Structure 1
Amino acid sequence: MKTVVVGAGPTGLLLAGDLAAAGVEVTVLERRSTDSNLTRAFGVHARTMEHLDARGLADELVATGQPVSKLRLFNSLKVDLGTLPSRFPYLLITPQYNVEKLLEQRALDLGARIVRGVTVTGLEPGAVLADGDTYEADTVVGADGVHSAVREAIGMPFPGKAVLRSIMLADVRLTDAPSDVLAVNSVGDAFAFVAPFGDGWFRVFAWDQRSQQPDSAPLDLDEVRDVTRRALGTDFGMKEARWLSRFHSDERQVPHYRQGDVFLAGDAAHVHSPAGGQGMNTGLQDAANLSWKLAAVAQGWAPEGLLDTYQSERHPVGELVLRSSGGLIRLAMLHSRAARAGRDLLGGALLHVPTIMRKAAGTVSGIGIDYPHAPRQPDLTLRGGARLYELLRAGRHVLLAPSAPAGYDDRLVHALNDRFVLVRPDGHTAWAGTERDLPVALRRHLGPPR
């Protein structure tokens, strides 16, 4: 089986690495000829960190960034991530290119082929066409962003609308860095967000309702300074911009993540406002859900209908992210002072209710997101000291049970445990039950034994 992944962003690279690890021949096609550090994503949430932990990458990524255990919204609302039931009870602030660097090296080490500087021009049965060349493909995954060539090639609609226009981006140096790792606030007609690269440069997102310009309009540092001062009360001595640009934010989602042997993931399948830092995280979680299912098909043991569960499990998550990020951005853009005061008063009261705080933290971090009949499985320390997520690095199911069943050693890892639990490669529970039901469960989830 040959797979072509279009797009060498985080989503495509994680997927390619997983497929290569499973013995699948995979080629990644990327339009950019060189890497770029001009990225929009800056936060890696707890559930994404768990997926990276299951690939042996989390600890190395942690060393590149700064953890934030409390998110402050609108100056007064705080979401506490410190109590998350995870090894990573925080948001890791690190630029997207650090994530890409780790995932790319892993994919290359495992045998994936990455071809840069090529533009996909179409699909035909069993192949991807790019710049006059033909790449054989039994399966194609479009992870090529909001302007996806794969999505266009299959004629998949991308309904939705623009929610914010003329968002300003700037990479700057600051004379006085924010006291918190993140600085974010809105005052109705202005919004600003400041985050560190970790190398002395800071990324600024700013939005000004008073000045709605097209994406192509020139941008100067004085405009960014002005909006930042209005939203945050200071511009932190902003100086020396190395990059300035504008973009607009849409809310869109395809109706189907799969069409035959073509799949869409990440921004090719869904885009939304930057509020909550969900974009890169949702794409990486798409990839973690899809990769092991494609590998199971390639290896010949996939149960019937397994690939269809990518749509049934991930499409509702995309809908949830659109709702939650859209709700946050609309709360941030409340115009009247009275409405903002009511938002802060009511929101502050609700976030003091433990169950609501846990729900909010679980949603934004991804820790609270389960699939139907497949809840997230938290990490466990097992007999002998190994952790469950370390065992998941084999890319196979993990069976927690008193003894190992015969005939499945090519599809699962066994770990001693008093209970019977089957954990999927993406860290979700496939089944939990009794020894009597184990043979039926294994056949249902892993096919017949050898």
Structure 2
Amino acid sequence: MSNPVLVVGAGPVGLTMAAELARYRVPVRLIDRMPARTDQSRALAVWSRTLELLGVAGCADAFVAAGLHAKAVGIHAGGKILARVTFDGIASPFNYLLMIPQSETERLLEDHFRSLGGQVERGTELTGFVDGGHSVSCTLKHAGGESETVEAAWLIGCDGAHSTVRRMLGLQFEGDTLPTGFIVADVHVTGLTMPPDELAIFWHPEGAVMFFPVMPGRYRIIADIGSAALHVPDLKEVQAIVDRRGPGGVILSDPVWLSDFGVNERTVRDYRAGRVFLAGDAAHVHSPAGGQGMNMGMQDAFNLAWKLALVIRQEACPALLDSYGIERRAVARQILAQSGRMTRIVLLASPLAQRLRGFVVRDLFKIPEVRRAVANRLSGIMIAYPDSPLNMGCATGLRGAWPGQRFDADFTIGAGRLPRFTLVATDDAEAQAMIARHSALLEPEIRQPLDGKGIWLVRPDGYVAATARSGNWPVIEKALMRIAV
């Protein structure tokens, strides 16, 4: 374990990756070519599943205290509300959307990384690397111009949509760019009559304008600008759009951040090449609809870190790492399709299509089950790995999660400084024998199941690896032997 893992990019994804590796006592270096972390709000949304994983990592409390707890989202058109989805029914202890500027997210993650003994090396750029099979020889350029060669055990590119690591690997970023541009403004707002902890989307014949609360009196405003050239708007332009498309009587002032963006829907086919991995926007980008982007990247990090730690600690076979790309690529495809559909619904231009959209949304969202399903899906708690190569067994006839699904428990799974699976079963001699045989992989404490007729093997990231009926220990044994060295 002498050679460190080198993580490139100290945004939310790289910070999460480095902190998780440090939590597992894996030597790690985190570099970023920028001299300081961002001071812009950028990504705002932290959803329930990400907060759950931050809780396991030991830093969710700081996020919860620092952010605004959004309770609902409303869709408005023609002076009426078409639909309102509340988040209090999300099946998670974090049954809200946490709105927090990316600058704060990075500050909190960096504080957490430092508490684990880590330090961000800023002004340090990766200029080249060679994968030698047993290590990766990386060339770094420091702020003063001096070069350094680092022998890294593994290299992880968390360096964003314009990833240097991806470019050096020669991987294609396949996909499309939408023809419609958007403007974004973080501004102070008065005259908005909706609750201050609620998101609002206003549909208008010429386009949409969306309000996302950042903190009391301050909102993120996003509006589409059609085929017009991308440009950074001024406050006057944003105010004019809000006047035309919004609810009326809204006054904007004191802009904190004004910008523009286009929507790319792209992904790589492979998240790994030898001893080099990609995570976050380096591997996938999509529409910001649904606020999934940063959450997706941070969950990439939570997925990979425990697997890499087990392999580096020589407690799991290297083949475990193959599951990272299989699992996360499937999730990225789902989120890309989901966010793309939401974006295209918002951008409908035909008057007939807009009227039909209004009728469908109004009638569909009258159904409580639909509203609840939408909230749970947005929250991330429905993310699952049904096709993971780690899955084994089934939960037919049992009350509990299936292999690949998130294990919903009233006890914490995966906390602490060692990456360990949790055995959820009746505490008997066979269960104790399983713990003894696989002490390098299993937590020593056996957890009691909700359904005593079943056994669940739960991964360090809280997803089920194997399920069996009580007494059918060969299923659990086989699942562990597949992972063990």
Tell me if both proteins adopt one fold, taking TM over 0.5 as the criterion: yes
Structure 1: state its 5+ residue gaps.
382-386
Structure 1 vs Structure 2 CA RMSD: 2.3
- Residue 477 of structure 2 corresponds to 440
Task: Tell me which amino acid in the other structure corresponds to 2:271.
Answer: Y
Question: How far is 1:153 from its partner?
Answer: 0.6
Contact 1:68 1:90 in 2 (8 A): yes
Secondary structure at 2:57's aligned position in 1? coil
Give a deviation string over 1:121-166, Cα, whole Å, max 9, x none: 2222312223232232121111111100010010010011212544
By how many angstroms is 1:445 displaced? 5.3
Whole-Å Cα distance in 2 between the matches of residues 391 and 379 of structure 1? 15
Tell whether the 8 Å contact from 2:8 to 2:30 is kept in structure 1 after alignment: yes
Cα deviation 1:55-114 (Å, max 9, x = unaligned)? 122232111222233322355233343222211222112222232222212222213342
Say whether 1:412 aligns with 2:428. no
Distance in 2, matches of 1:316 and 1:103, equals 27
Q: Does 1:145 align with 2:180?
A: no
The DSSP-based 3-state class of the residue aligned with 2:93 is coil
Q: What is the 5 A alignment of 1:126-137? A: 126-131=136-141, 132-137=147-152
Aligned to 2:253: 239
Q: What are the within-5 Å matches in structure 2 for residues 207-222 of structure 1? A: 207-209=224-226, 212-214=228-230, 217-222=231-236
Query: Is 1:397–2:456 an aligned residue pair?
Result: no
Query: Taking structure 1 as reference, are residues 347 and 183 closer, same or farther at Cα in structure 2, changes over 3 Å only?
Result: closer
Distance 2:39 2:220 in 1: 11
Structure 1 stretch displaced more, 325-334 or 174-183:
174-183
Match of 1:426 in 2: 461
C-alpha separation in 1, matches of 2:46 and 2:178: 23
Per the TM alignment, residue 310 of structure 1 is displaced from its structure 2 partner at its CA by: 0.9
Q: Check conservation: 2:320, 2:483, Cα contact below 8 A.
A: no
Residue in structure 1 matched with residue 394 of structure 2 by the alignment: none
List aligned pairs for 1:2-21, cutoff 5 A. 2-21=4-23
- Contact persistence 2:155–2:275 (CA under 8 A): yes
Aligned residues: 440
> After the TM superposition, which of the residue ranges 438-447 and 417-426 deviates more from structure 2?
438-447
Q: Which residue of 2 aligns with 1:384?
A: none
Match of residue 311 from structure 1: 325
Partner of 2:37: 35
Question: Residue 378 of structure 2: which of 343, 349, 364 is its match?
Answer: 364
C-alpha distance in 1 between matches for 2:471 and 2:415: 22
Question: What corresponds to 1:184 in structure 2?
Answer: 201
Q: Which position in structure 2 is the counterpart of 1:330?
A: 344
Mapped partners of 1:37, 1:235: distance in 2: 30
- 8 A Cα contact 1:188 1:333, kept in partner: no
CA distance in 1, matches of 2:91, 2:407: 7
For residues 254 and 248 of structure 1, the distance between their equivalents in structure 2, rounded to whole angstroms, comes to: 19
State the SS of the aligned residue for 2:436. Answer: coil
Kindly report which structure 2 residues correspond to 1:162-173, keeping only aligned pairs within 5 A, or say none: 162-163=177-178, 165-173=180-188
Q: Which residue of 2 aligns with 1:377?
A: 406
Q: CA deviation at 1:354?
A: 4.9
| Aligned residue number for residue 59 of structure 1 | 61
1:88 and 2:94 are equivalent in the alignment: yes
> Cα distance, 1:422 vs. partner?
1.6
3-state SS in 2 of match to 1:388:
coil
Cα deviation for residue 119 of structure 1 reads 2.4
Q: Which amino acid aligns with 1:163?
A: L
Q: Distance in 2 between matches of 1:193 and 1:51?
A: 28
Q: Which amino acid aligns with 2:138?
A: V
Deviations 1:312-356 (A, max 9, x none): 111011011111111111100111333122112213333344554
Tell me if the contact between 1:169 and 1:206 (Cα under 8 Å) persists in the aligned partners: yes
More displaced 10-residue stretch of structure 1: 310-319 or 365-374: 365-374
Distance 1:79 1:202 in 2: 19
Q: Does the alignment pair 1:226 with 2:250?
A: no
Task: Compare 319-328 and 332-341 and name the one that shifted more.
Answer: 332-341
Does the 8 Å CA contact 1:225/1:235 hold for their aligned counterparts? no
Q: Percent identity?
A: 35
Aligned 8 A contact 2:74 2:201 in 1 = yes
2:20–2:305: 8 Å Cα contact kept in structure 1?
yes
Paired with 1:107 and 1:265, the residues of 2 have a C-alpha distance of 18
Q: CA deviation at 1:406?
A: 1.1
